Amino acid sequence: MTVAVSAPLRMATKARAELALRPQLTSDALRLFALGILVFVIYVLLLGALQYNRAQDVAYDKIRGQLAEATAPIGPGIQYGAPVAVLDIPGLGLRQVIREGTTGSILMQGPGHRADSPLPGEAGVAVIYGRALSYGGPFRAVPKLGPGARFEVVTGEGRFNYEVKAVRRAGDPLPALLPSGGSRVTLVTAEGAPLPSKTVYVDAELVDGTALPDPGGRLARVPDSEQAFGVNLSGVLTLVLWLQALIAVAAGVVWFRSRIGRWESYLIGAPVVVALVWRVFEQIAAMLPNLI
């Protein structure tokens, strides 16, 4: 009789323990998720800025040598990500190396030249995108430029000075058509708090010298992922692979901890886990809207 009574009691006790454990597991999962979000924000705003500055230093050294040797890319078919120009805005204390392309991953390394527009200094409207918040937010202060402000762009074709004519936002009138042979640079970024969500356009026109002919041969139109606030999801598969690697390594650390000890397993596994987390964050950041 005692055995018959104790078995149901044990089952009831086990059920109560499982029910009590579920809220704890849910709470732990939420805490872990919140911690992941916090660490990602720190990565994008702080660590990403360090990564961005390093990429700029490398790009500046490269294009400086190319400009000195007259080998900087100028024609159509420029490789995406290649440095193509140096932008200098004295009024903002801003000097940036411009890369070819406006995908999210390229704008993590510097302002990008939209591939379906001419280069600065050539006839037509050259379009340059830059982030407003993440990875150093290089174009954060660009909306503060007012009419009359000047900046300089150096490409493989020469040195060109531009003067700001207008700052536009959604609903504002478009600039007048350029005269034949005229050159305009439009700097594009975002604004808004706490998360930039509105596009800003700064239109500037060539004031010194004559625009060079557009050699043509460029893309007719870039895909949506390379336009303002474009999102590129082509890296989803890569993200999944990095996540799988992270889970496998984390499981390995837990397994080793029970075999060789806590601190030994952490010493071996922590650098690998940190490197994989960095890669995961890079992939996620590359899929964010390109102007943020």
Task: For the chain, give the secondary structure using H, E and C.
Answer: CHHHHHHHHHHHHHHHHHHHHHHHHHHHHHHHHHHHHHHHHHHHHHHHHHHHHHHHHHHHHHHHHHHHHCCCCCCCCCCCCCEEEEEEEHHHCEEEEEEECCCHHHHCCCCEECCCCCCCCECEEEEEECCCCCCCCCCCCHHHCCCCCEEEEEECCEEEEEEEEEEEECCCCCCCCCCCCCEEEEEEEEECCCCCCEEEEEEEEECCCCCECCCCCCCCCCCHHHCCCCCCCCCHHHHHHHHHHHHHHHHHHHHHHHHHCHHHHHHHHHHHHHHHHHHHHHHHHHCCCCCC
What's the pLDDT tens digit per position in 85-116?
A: 999 999 999 999 999 999 999 999 999 999 99
What's the pLDDT tens digit per position in 16-28?
A: 555 444 555 466 5
Tokens 């889970």 correspond to 247
Taking residue 248's Cβ as centre, other Cβ atoms within 10 Å add up to 11
Candidate from 32-36, 95-99, 142-146 with smallest mean pLDDT: 32-36
Tell me the average pLDDT across 238-255.
87
Please, which residues have CB within 8 angstroms of residue 278's CB and are 6 or more apart in sequence? Answer: 43
Q: What is the pLDDT, as a whole number, of residue 2? A: 47
Domains and CATH numbers, the chain: 50-226 (2.40.260.10), 236-286 (no CATH)
Beta bridge partners of 221: none
Q: What is the pLDDT, as a whole number, of residue 21? A: 45
Residue 9 has pLDDT above 60, yes or no: no
Whether 118 contacts 97, CB under 8 Å:
no
Residue 205 pLDDT level (bands cut at 50, 70, 90)? very high
Q: What is the pLDDT, as a whole number, of residue 191? A: 95
Residue 32 pLDDT level (bands cut at 50, 70, 90)? low
Residue 11 pLDDT level (bands cut at 50, 70, 90)? low
The percent of residues above 90 in pLDDT, for the chain, comes to 61
Residue 1 has pLDDT above 50, yes or no: no
Q: What is the pLDDT, as a whole number, of residue 100? A: 98
Q: What is the pLDDT, as a whole number, of residue 170? A: 85
Q: What is the pLDDT, as a whole number, of residue 210? A: 86
The percent of residues above 70 in pLDDT, for the chain, comes to 89
Residue 274 has pLDDT above 80, yes or no: yes
Tell me the average pLDDT across 234-240.
90
Residue 12 has pLDDT above 70, yes or no: no
Phi (first) and psi of residue 197, to 5 degrees: -140, 0
pTM for the structure as a whole:
0.84
